[in-house]
Structure 1
Amino acid sequence: MSLKRWGNVLAACAILLLTACDVVKLDANGNPMLPKAADSAPGYDNMTPQQIAQQTWQSRVVQAAQDKALDTPAFISSLSASPGSKQSYFLRVTGPVTGEDTQNEREKKITIMVDAKPLLVQIGPVIRGNTIRDAAGFQFEDFTNQVQFAQLSKAYNREAASHLPQVDTAWMGKQVSALLAVTIAQGKVTDAVALSLTEEAAQ
């Protein structure tokens, strides 16, 4: 059989196979887009860190924080339970605002008293560190594009700052309810970031 005829036979077989199966979508390069297995890792490869942050903010941060945040007693216990380890998680606290650090207008912080101890909390608009990303449970191996993992922290920090109210001197002395992401190491808080801040109604 000639090569030309053999090629025609192969083409005919390919057509028969395609017509017998469901239509498979093709990507921009003409390659088939096969569905991922149910247990495969999320597909972040073609997303920017900002897109990942926006798409997962509600589920991986807000909802997770509302469902899993530690309360103050559990938080105090965690500080002494693992004095040598570093970990990040969500925390819900209520307490008075006793200080405002505005030396750097771009990196504002407030102090909230928690169990009679001051907790310094980043409120932005510029927020630094990996606390939100790590509290949300993202791991280095979740990404084949490791630049995304490194830059996801910045994207989450920007997203957090965009949801926070403007805090000024009028907040001083007020009782607030705060949902936070915190990192502890050596039995101490090394970073705390506000995810939501709400003034408590006056009694």
Structure 2
Amino acid sequence: MIHVRVGLMVVLASVLAMPLAGCKIVQIADQQAAEPLGFDAAKYAAGLWADRALPHFSDSARPVAEVLASINSDFERAGNDFGYRSGEGSPWSFIVSGAGEVLAKNTESRAGILDVAVEGLADPVVLQIGPVIRGNAVRDALPFVSFQDFTNQLEYADAGKALTALALEGVASSVETVAVGDTVRFTGALSLASASDRQQVTLVALDVVAP
């Protein structure tokens, strides 16, 4: 019996001492890198931005003075006349354009804004200039970007952030140089559930008009 045990121990020791021929040790980081990536929001947004999104904003924009006046007068009618929404009960999205003098530039908050005086409106139009942008007005204004196209809410939210980032990137140089007293032309989107919501336009285009 003792000889059997000794024999087993010798065999076991030999097995443990053998090199792991044919086996490959993969580091955890390498394994994770080799796994397929999930949804790439930046790639998704870039794939439709220049060819579909920007032309849609340009072609669909309505005068901001007309749209805001309608919103403040009869919100549901304004939605039907000027807006888009993905379904009943969803916020209305409006694409607007306009021009006017910059009355104020607030960059003290990371949610920076421009106040622009537009002819025909008693109150200035508020333009979001970031770097923090509230809401997903850019995404929500695009009828070809639907929640149904995504696996889950997280992907849909990430797509919205990526689209907003491209919009912000496109106006960054103008935002940096614009000053109070300048005249600007702009195009952007706002998403509202009611007329009492914060009426702030998320910029898609901003140009400083030469004096």
Tell me which of 49, 60, 70 is aligned to 2:41. Answer: 49
Tell me which of 78, 83, 91 is aligned to 2:96. Answer: 91
Task: Identify the residue that residue 102 of structure 1 maps to in structure 2.
Answer: 107
Alignment of 1:74 with 2:66, yes or no, is yes
Task: Identify the residue that residue 38 of structure 1 maps to in structure 2.
Answer: none
Task: Identify the residue that residue 113 of structure 1 maps to in structure 2.
Answer: 117
Q: In 2 relative to 1, CA 169–151 (structure 1 residues): closer, same or farther, beyond 3 Å?
A: closer
**2:57 alignment partner AA:** A
Alignment of 1:177 with 2:182, yes or no, is no
Of structures 1 and 2, the larger Rg is shown by 2
Task: Identify the residue that residue 156 of structure 1 maps to in structure 2.
Answer: 163
Question: Conserved in 2, the CA contact under 8 Å of 1:72 and 1:92?
Answer: yes
Give the distance between the partners of 1:196 and 1:161, measured in 2 at CA. Answer: 9
Q: In 2 relative to 1, CA 194–83 (structure 1 residues): closer, same or farther, beyond 3 Å?
A: same
User: TM-score under structure 1 normalisation?
Assistant: 0.67
Task: Identify the residue that residue 7 of structure 2 maps to in structure 1.
Answer: none
Runs of 4+ residues deviating >6 angstroms: none
Task: Identify the residue that residue 134 of structure 2 maps to in structure 1.
Answer: 128
Tell me which of 193, 196, 199 is aligned to 2:205. Answer: 196
Task: Identify the residue that residue 10 of structure 1 maps to in structure 2.
Answer: none
139-148 vs 75-84, which moves further: 75-84
Structure 1: stretches of 5+ with no match in the other structure = 1-45
Q: In 2 relative to 1, CA 103–199 (structure 1 residues): closer, same or farther, beyond 3 Å?
A: same
Question: Conserved in 2, the CA contact under 8 Å of 1:125 and 1:162?
Answer: no
Aligned to 2:140, the other structure's residue is in SS state: helix
Question: Conserved in 2, the CA contact under 8 Å of 1:89 and 1:134?
Answer: no
Determine what percentage of the aligned residue pairs are the same residue: 29
Aligned to 1:171, the other structure's residue is in SS state: coil
Report the structure, 1 or 2, having the larger helix content.
2
**1:134 Cα deviation after fit:** 0.2
Q: Over aligned residues, Cα RMSD in angstroms?
A: 2.5
Structure 2: stretches of 5+ with no match in the other structure = 1-37, 80-90
Give the distance between the partners of 1:69 and 1:181, measured in 2 at CA. Answer: 9
User: TM-score under structure 2 normalisation?
Assistant: 0.65
